Amino acid sequence: MIREALVLSEFVSIGLALVLVYFLLKICRFTRSISLLGLPIGFSHLALSYTFLALYLLYEENAIFSDSMLWLRLITQSFGCAFIAFSYYFTAKTDKPVRRLLMVISVASVLSILTFFVALLVTPPFLVLPSVQVAGNYSRVLNLVFLGYVVYYLVARLRSRDREFSDLVSAPIAFSVLWLAQYSLFIWGVDGSETAFTLAHVARLASLILFIGVYYSSGRVRR
C-alpha cells in the first residue's frame, strides 16, 4: 500500500514538473530568450529524477537495475537543482544571454559531477562506489545549498520591494517548500524517520503546485 502511494506520488510529481517545464519553455519561446532556458532544463532534470525513482520503486526486486535507477536519480536531481540555482546566479551577474546560458550549463555540470567524485573519494573503501544512501546524503547537502541560494536571492530581492510584497512572495515560498523537501529527505537519510520521508513527498508536491500557481496567478495581472 505504501509502495503504491509512493509510486503514485512520483507519477503526480512527474506530471506537475512536466506541466511546469511546458510553461517555462513556452515563455522562453515567446520571449525568444535563451538565457532563461536554465530553469526549464533544471525542472526537466527534476522530472527525470522523479521518473528514475518511480522506476526504482516499480522494479525494486531487480537489484542491479534498481540501484542504477537510484544513482541516476541522485545525479539528475543535483543537476536540476544546480541548473535552477545558476540560472538565478547568472541572471544577476550578466545581461549577455548566450554567455549566461553557457555559464549556467558549464558551472552546474562541473559542480554536480565534482560532488559525486568527492563522494567517491571520501567514502572508504577508495575506488569503490559508495553506497547510494551515502552518496544520496552528499547530494542532498549540495541540493540544499543550491536551493538555499535561490531562496536567499529571492528573499533579498523581496526585502527591497516592500510595495510588491504580496506579488513576489509566492516564488520564495515555493522554493522554500522545495528546500524543505530536500531537507526532510536528508533527515530521512540520516535517521530513517518516516515522518521526514512523508514530509519530503508532501513538500515536493506542494512546491510544484505552488510553482504552477505562480504561473496561473500571473495571468491575473493588475495594471
Partner 1 sequence: MTAERRTKFQIYLDILEALSDELKNDSELQLTKIAHRANLPYDRFRSYLDYLAQLGMVSSEPDGGLAVTEKGAEYVQELRRNSEFLRRMGLMQ
Q: Does 46 bind partner 1 (CB under 8 A)?
A: no
Residue recorded with cell 543550491: 146
- 184: cell is 526532510
Distance CA 193, CA 29 (A): 43
Distance CA 146, CA 111 (A): 11
Residues in 76-95 at the binding interface with partner 1, rule: CB under 8 A: 87-88, 91, 95
Applying CB under 8 A, the span of 57-65, 68-76, 117-125, 152-160 interacting with partner 1 comes to 152-160
In angstroms, what is the minimal distance from the CB of 19 to partner 1?
14
Q: Does 159 bind partner 1 (CB under 8 A)?
A: no
Distance CA 115, CA 97 (A): 27
Based on CB atoms, which residue is closest to partner 1, 27 or 72? 27
Q: Does 41 bind partner 1 (CB under 8 A)?
A: no
Q: Does 157 bind partner 1 (CB under 8 A)?
A: yes
Helix (H) or strand (E) holding 33: none
The region that residue 125 occupies, defined by phi over 0 for left and psi between -120 and 50 for alpha, beta otherwise, is beta
From 97, 93, 92, 101, select the one nearest 41 (Cα to Cα).
101
Q: Does 19 bind partner 1 (CB under 8 A)?
A: no
Residues in 48-77 at the binding interface with partner 1, rule: CB under 8 A: none
Q: Does 27 bind partner 1 (CB under 8 A)?
A: yes
Q: Does 193 bind partner 1 (CB under 8 A)?
A: no
Q: At what angle do helices 170-191 and 132-159 cross, to 10 degrees?
A: 160
Binding residues for partner 1, rule: CB under 8 A, are 23, 27, 30-33, 36, 39, 87-88, 91, 95, 153-154, 157, 167-168, 170-172, 214-215, 217-219, 221, 223
